Chain A
Amino acid sequence: GAVVSQHPSWVICKSGTSVKIECRSLDFQATTMFWYRQFPKQSLMLMATSNEGSKATYEQGVEKDKFLINHASLTLSTLTVTSAHPEDSSFYICSALTSGRADEQFFGPGTRLTVL
């Protein structure tokens, strides 16, 4: 149980285009989802926290107008990278919390974004 999926697993796009990444909790309801970004040989850095039905809370330095997060249901959160640039190329990972185990985050497999 407690499986989180992400789609797509990798994507290549042209500079200036937008990319949507989906994060789904497959067998549980996720009250909270987190979006992290990981650059090569770096740690996971929190980008934003999203609660179902509420606006996402962004970390300092993360542009909310560039990284649009929608948590429309208890099983789905989406991250849209708008007007992507090469410096946005990174590994994007989501994690989800369930109300039954608030102390454990379940991570998705990640999405590798390459912006040309």
Chain B
Amino acid sequence: QKEVEQDPGPLSVPEGAIVSLNCTYSNSAFQYFMWYRQYSRKGPELLMYTYSSGNKEDGRFTAQVDKSSKYISLFIRDSQPSDSATYLCAMSEQAGTALIFGKGTTLSVSS
């Protein structure tokens, strides 16, 4: 079993839809959880960062972490065509250590 599981999609939604992206993981020692957005042939860009369990909101983006279920989510409200990209979840046990990434979910938002 891989440490981090993420459905690669692709996921296609109309503009304005609410998007839900998810990852599950097996390592209970993970404490730091991130969501990155990656456009084709570009490096990942940090979207959301969460420490331990809980919710975090930033504009149209909400990140949720449920450590008891080993499950994290990213919600995108009022999705826009510019949100079309690959979304990667990533996590680590300690700050300052390498990240373990999910495979990424490809999202397409149509206008």
Q: Which residues of A contact B (CB under 8 A)?
A: 4, 6, 32, 34, 36, 41-46, 49, 91, 93, 95, 97, 102-110, 112
Which of B55-63, B64-72, B98-106 lines the interface with chain A? B98-106
Determine if A103 and B43 form an interchain contact, defined as CB atoms under 8 angstroms apart. no
- Contact A91 to B41, CB < 8 A, known contacts A43-B103, A103-B32: yes
Given that A103-B32, A110-B41 are known contacts, is A44 also in contact with B96, CB under 8 Å in the complex? no
Count: A-B pairs, CB below 8 Å? 55
Question: Quick check: A103 and B41 within 8 Å, CB to CB?
Answer: no
Contact B43 A109 (CB under 8 A): yes
Separation of A41 and B98 alpha carbons in the complex (Å): 20
Contact partners of B99 in chain A: CB under 8 A = 34, 44, 46, 95, 105
Are B96 and A41 in contact, CB atoms less than 8 angstroms apart? no
Judged by DSSP, the binding face of B is loop
Which of B's residues lie within 8 Å of A, judged by CB? 4, 6, 8, 32, 36, 41-46, 49, 51, 88, 90, 95-96, 98-104
Instruction: Evaluate contact between A44 and B95: CB separation under 8 angstroms.
Output: no
Say whether B49 contacts A104, CB under 8 Å.
Answer: yes
In the bound complex, residues from chain B placing their C-beta under 8 Å from that of A4 are 43
Distance from B24 Cβ to chain A, minimum over Cβ atoms (Å): 14
Pick the contact of B8: A34, A41, A91, A108 (CB < 8 A).
Answer: A41
Q: A43-B88, A43-B103, A44-B88 are in contact. Are A102 and B95 (CB under 8 A)?
A: yes
A106–B98 CA distance with the chains assembled, in angstroms: 12
State the CA gap A104–B90 with chains docked (Å): 11
A41: chain B residues within 8 A (beta carbon)? 8, 103
* Contact partners of B44 in chain A: CB under 8 A: 44, 93, 107
A-B contact pairs, 28 of them (CB 8 A): A6-B43, A32-B96, A34-B99, A43-B4, A43-B101, A44-B44, A44-B88, A44-B90, A44-B101, A46-B99, A46-B100, A91-B41, A93-B43, A95-B99, A102-B96, A103-B49, A103-B51, A103-B95, A103-B96, A104-B46, A104-B49, A105-B99, A106-B46, A108-B43, A109-B42, A109-B43, A110-B41, A112-B41
